[in-house]
A and B are shown apart, each in its own frame.
Chain A
Amino acid sequence: MNERQGFKFIAVFLNMAWFAVFVLVPGLMVVGISFMTRDTGTFFSPPLTLTQYRELLDPVYAKVLGASLIYSLNTTLLCLCISYPFAWILSRVSKHRRPLLLMMVIIPFWTSSLIRTYALVILMKANGIINTLLSAAGIISEPVTLLYTDFAVYVGLVYSLLPFMILPLYAVMEKMDLRLLEAARDLGANTCQVFVHVVLPLSLPGVLAGCIMVFLPAMGLFYVPDLLGGAKTMLMGNFIKNQFLTAMNWPFGSAASVFLLLLMGLMIIIYFTFSRRFNRHQAL
């Protein structure tokens, strides 16, 4: 082996080995264990079975699954409705003001969402800021219950994930060729038609990317319902966490994780199918 091949071997090997041992193997373990049987001593034991998946479809658990999907779906839609106009306005702000505003979106993107969730607890607790302000203004006479409600969980999820929707949307909108909008207008399209036939299709890759980046994490953010929604099992994340730490049922928890992985695979396929079609469309 010459010196070039030696360096190449080291560079490639170290990275491949790391990903193989700490990503590929654990991933395959999740899939493998999901087909095993629960065992109190060794966590799981061999008889291969589909029991875990059958049980996941049992009404009791299917309800948790369905509820989590609905939470994620609603969170994604809420984020989209808030972010779409926001990203559009941001992408049209004058060039010298844009970097600062963009930076103001990037900071929460990287800030611990646990800290941000906690900040919401301060606002929403019974003697918190919102209640104090509302009663000081004479709008309410006694504190409204905000914390430990569905409303609080939604606020928490949207608050944590909003930047993940804004940034991909902004990325496509910033690159959008405004002449296409002018052309559509010149050809007689009204504002609504320009939006439906030009802006929306052009921004679709960003919409899809944003939805994936919000929908999937929203299934797993177990500390948001833990802190804002009381101790109820609301998301897949809480459910999986309980299976591993409380019920000690690895195979069942793994099966639920495989469900999340399948969901991820599905979303990636949708994304690539759409963006390929979109690119072909643009090439025409």
Chain B
Amino acid sequence: MTRWLKISWVSAVFTFLYGPLLVLMVFSFNQARYTTSWQGFSLKWYMRLLDNPQLLDAFFNSLTVALISSMVATALGTLGAFAVSRYRFAGRKLFFGLVYSVMMSPDIVMGISLLMLFVMAGLTPGFLTLLIAHVTFCLPFVIVLVHARISGFDPAVVDAARDLGAREHEVFYKIIVPMILPAVLAGWLLSFTLSLDDVIISFFVTGPGFEILPLKIYSMVKLGVTPEVNALCTVLFLLTLAAVSAAHILTKEIKK
């Protein structure tokens, strides 16, 4: 392949990936409401967001769910990753099978299966059901990420700590957790992003009493394109960008 062809192929793909996002962000700063032409820089759509209590509620709800579910998933997943790398137990294969099947299974199937579970269990769709669902789809990512990190260590470190009198839980939080901290943090950030962005699963497990941002955006977009939505999407995109960049830097630390 000639150099020229290579450069144009790569540029075309990146333009495709980023062009629409850039347009969305630029137009969120546009003065005009209906025209697609540029009418001057303005922050008024962002101000308008701050005046919309419903949107602020949804934003706050999303952040709460993302924060709590990512922390629960990270704590549970780190413990799980430690367990599968240190212990042999009945059902270990099944455990890995379940981890990978959650990562692979289509979101929609997970959404409807949890919906049925919650309805049968008599839980009202809302904060709790959303939290459970988000922990469930974040958990495998944390387990896989942290497990990969623990596997990279010499298991003799754990034995040495045990020989020196550390108790099992001390081994976990004094030896293992500090060693794998970058992976744990990366898992947490990525879980946060996954939770914040999820549409399909949340769609089935939350109710009208507890609105979250992606679903709010979904219903607003169905009604039409507005500059407020542009501003909202820009905020959400920048939040994702920050979390992913931080996670990326942390995982790069791991490779060093």
| Chain A interface residues (CB < 8 Å from chain B) | 3-4, 6-8, 10-12, 14-16, 18-19, 22-27, 29-30, 33, 43, 82, 85-86, 89-90, 99, 101, 103-108, 110-116, 118-123, 125, 127-129, 132, 159, 162-163, 212, 216-217, 219-223, 226-227, 236-237, 240-241, 244-245, 250, 253-254, 257, 260-261, 264, 268
Contacts and interface: CB of A to CB of B under 8 A. Distances in A.
B9 A16 contact: no
B76 A18 contact: yes
A9 to B, nearest CB: 9
A29 B116 contact: yes
Interface stretch (B40-48, B53-61, B217-225): B217-225
A220 B200 contact: yes
Given A115-B217, A122-B225, A216-B104, A244 B112 contact: yes
Contact of B108 (A3, A99, A163, A240): A240
B240 A23 contact: no
B113 to A, nearest CB: 4
Contact of A116 (B21, B143, B200): B21
19 contacts: A3-B168, A8-B86, A8-B168, A12-B87, A15-B80, A16-B91, A22-B135, A26-B114, A110-B193, A114-B199, A115-B197, A116-B21, A119-B23, A125-B225, A127-B36, A159-B16, A163-B17, A244-B112, A264-B106
A123 B222 CA distance: 15
B13 A82 contact: yes
Nearest to A241: B108
B79 to A, nearest CB: 5
A227 B221 contact: yes
Contact of B24 (A122, A212, A219): A122
B248 interface: yes
B222 A227 contact: yes
Interface of B: 1, 6, 9-10, 13-14, 16-21, 23-24, 27, 35-37, 76-77, 79-80, 82-83, 86-87, 89, 91, 95, 98-99, 101-102, 104-110, 112-117, 119-120, 132-133, 135-136, 139, 143, 167-169, 172, 190, 193-194, 196-197, 199-200, 203-204, 214, 217-218, 221-222, 225, 229-230, 233, 236-237, 240-241, 243-245, 248, 252
Given A18-B135, A30-B113, A227-B221, A123 B23 contact: yes
A29 B23 contact: no
A43 B217 contact: no
Given A122-B27, A254-B112, A261-B109, A115 B200 contact: no
B20 A123 contact: yes
Contact of B113 (A14, A15, A29, A122): A29
Contacts of A107: 240-241, 244-245
A30 B116 contact: yes
Nearest to A240: B108
Contacts of A241: 108, 203
Contacts of A227: 221-222
Contacts of B143: 15
Contacts of A221: 200
Find the residue from A115, A116, A127, A216 having the highest chain B CB count within 10 A.
A115
A216 B200 CA distance: 14
A240 B245 CA distance: 35
Contact of A159 (B10, B20, B105, B119): B20
A197 to B, nearest CB: 18
Contacts of B24: 115, 118-119, 122
Contact of A12 (B35, B89, B217, B225): B89
B1 A89 contact: yes
A86 B204 CA distance: 36
B76 A219 contact: no
Nearest to A92: B6
A25 B108 contact: no
Given A106-B244, A260-B108, A118 B221 contact: yes
Nearest to B198: A112
B123 to A, nearest CB: 12
A15 B81 CA distance: 9
Given A103-B248, A128-B36, A115 B117 contact: no
A26 B113 contact: yes
Nearest to A219: B106
Given A244-B112, A261-B105, 11 more contacts: A15-B79, A18-B76, A27-B101, A101-B10, A105-B17, A122-B225, A222-B108, A226-B222, A227-B221, A236-B108, A240-B108
